Amino acid sequence: MNGIDATIDACVRPAAEALSALVFFKISIAGAELPLVVLWLAGGAVYFTLRFRFINIRGIAHALKLLRTPLRAEGAGEVSHFQALSTALSGTVGIGNIGGVAVAVSLGGPGAAFWMVVAGLLGMSTKFVECSLGVIYRRENEDGSVSGGPMYYLERGLAERGLPRLGRSLGIFYAVGIIIGCFGIGNMFQSNQAFVQIVGVTGGAESWLADKGWLVGGVIAAVVGVVVIGGIRSIAGVAARLVPFMAALYLVGALFMLVMNREALPWAFAAMFEGAFTSAGVGGGALGAMIVGFQRAVFSNEAGIGSATIAHSAVKTSQPMTEGFVSLLEPLIDTVVICHATALVIITTSYFEPALGSGLGGIEMTSAAFERNLSWAPYPLSIAATLFAFSTMISWSYYGLKGWSYLFGEGRRTGAIFKVIFCFFVALGCTLKLESILDFSDALVFLICVPNVFGLYVLTPVVARHLKAYSSREE
């Protein structure tokens, strides 16, 4: 396998490095390195927040009300608001919430956690716009199913603006990007991390499973296959049960850690606020902390990337704006609550252990923070991490499927071909270490935010018109 790894890595690395250099191109401001793609996403989030008069805050109460409303029979769609939200959350709540946050805090200091929350709140407005458009421009299929996402509102929305060729081209580009991305960060990376966690808690290098990635991968692929073969209703049904459980499991554990670290909480909040505006010792100072915090937030909740709109588009409703409101809860839960909980655990633990994380990777650092208080904490944490990885895989299978069907047409045959390929890559992720492929897919996923956010800007008047009509009916 090592020979195969090296061969594939050598072939893909030049393209991966070139694409990463393009997508994550940085400019230097006051000593801080600012990736333009993060500026593009953050700028959109600020614009949509101001354009819709802080809908991210004003809309929370209505979003919660919609979640409690029973599913009505009217309108196209296949799943409830809660199921659509759970499916989207299962795609964003992943390993990054545990490991990626630790890396952000280690690079940007406690101040990065403050800006991460700010970016999460702003990202709620972007979710509102893109998921509203996802339902407005979704396509109803002959079998009663629906297909939505950036591919459709780019094609149909820009066609309404007299740009049919541009819209179709951007739709194809997005579909290709989401397919490749689903095989990388939404598939192989997740199964690989799940395998690493399983091996880690069963003895590490001495584990019986250490050299049996093919076995673990086969089991994970089989379980994923059982879920995805049933389509969005099966995925949403599993997500609606799994997401609340895994989120609660992780948050209860994090809250328990914070109770044990309660002495450090005042210091932690003071360090976060002070670090957000000074960040002494951090590259770029306060600006560096802001950039790291914003980057972690957009990487986590994917606001502006458009992937979650594919799940939200499947909601059963005759009022597109309802799902726009429900979707703004996604960054709130993913970034403001779960990511922030991870950050607080790490920061409070560093109060007692200043050298925490020295020489450790992201998820290992979080595990060490949990383990400081409870020696057995890494075991439930590994369960949560495995569940996060599994939930991400089933959601991204649907995202990739819709990109696939956009290019090759709807139908059971084309869908079955994609699902078999997807499950094969799940197993492959546990057996190969293909860093370049993962880097390539990661960069491509963030590249597709460029046409997506462009489409959101152009189609903002459509959302404004629908929101005005919806608000008048609700009054």
Give DSSP secondary structure letters for 222-270.
HHHHHHHTTHHHHHHHHHHHHHHHHHHHHHHHHHHHHHHTGGGHHHHHH
State percent of the chain over pLDDT 70.
87
- Least confident stretch, 268-272, 335-339, 349-353, 382-386: 382-386
The listed range with the strongest mean pLDDT (30-39, 346-355, 378-387) is: 346-355
Share of the chain above pLDDT 90, in %: 27
**Separation of alpha carbons 475 and 468, rounded Å:** 11
450 vs 73, higher pLDDT:
450
CA distance 161 to 449: 20
| Three-point CA angle 447, 449, 450, nearest 5° | 75
Can you identify the CATH homologous superfamily of domain 35-474?
Amino acid/polyamine transporter I (1.20.1740.10)
C-alpha 319/C-alpha 447 separation (Å) is 31
Of 86-100, 327-341, 382-396, 438-452, which has the strongest mean pLDDT? Answer: 327-341
- Longest Cα–Cα distance of the chain, Å, equals 66
Q: What pLDDT was estimated at residue 71?
A: 62
Q: What is the pLDDT of residues 78-137, one digit of tens each?
A: 888 888 888 888 888 776 677 778 777 877 788 888 888 898 899 999 999 999 999 999
Amino acid at 182: C
224 vs 12, higher pLDDT: 224
Position 400 scores a pLDDT of: 92
pLDDT at 464 exceeding the cut of 90:
yes
pLDDT tier for residue 399 given thresholds of 50, 70 and 90: very high
Tell me the residue type at 389: A
Residues 226-257 pLDDT 10s: 888 877 788 888 888 888 888 888 888 889 99
- Would you say residue 49 has pLDDT above 90? yes
Q: Which amino acid is at 460?
A: T
- pLDDT higher than threshold 70 for residue 175: yes
Query: From the centroid of its chain, how far is CA 131?
Result: 14
Structure tokens that stand for 69 in this block: 């409303």
> Using an 8 Å Cβ cutoff, are 189 and 99 in contact?
no
As given in the structure block, the two tokens for residue 375 are 């020696």
pLDDT-derived band of residue 294, with 50, 70 and 90 as boundaries? confident
235 vs 296, more confident: 235
CA distance 454 to 40: 10
Ramachandran angles phi, psi of 243, nearest 5°: -60, -50
The answer to whether 427 touches 220, Cβ cutoff 8 Å, is: yes
Q: What is the pLDDT of residue 281?
A: 47
Cα→Cα distances 290→118, 125, 167, 183, 265, Å: 9, 19, 34, 31, 21
Residue 39 has pLDDT above 70, yes or no: yes
Residue 279 has pLDDT above 70, yes or no: no
More confident residue, 170 or 196: 170
Please spell the DSSP secondary structure of 91-135, one letter per residue.
HHSSHIIIIIHHHHHHHH-HHHHHHHHHHHHHHHHHHHHHHHHHH
Residue 275: predicted pLDDT: 81
Work out the angle between the directed axes of helices 449-474 and 435-447 (0-180°, nearest 10): 50
pLDDT of residue 91: 81
Q: Say whether 434 sits in a helix, a strand or coil.
A: coil
Mean pLDDT over each residue of the chain, to the nearest integer: 83
Q: Write down the pLDDT at residue 31.
A: 65
* Whole-angstrom distance, CA of residue 22 vs CA of residue 37: 10
Is the pLDDT at 4 greater than 90, yes or no?
A: no
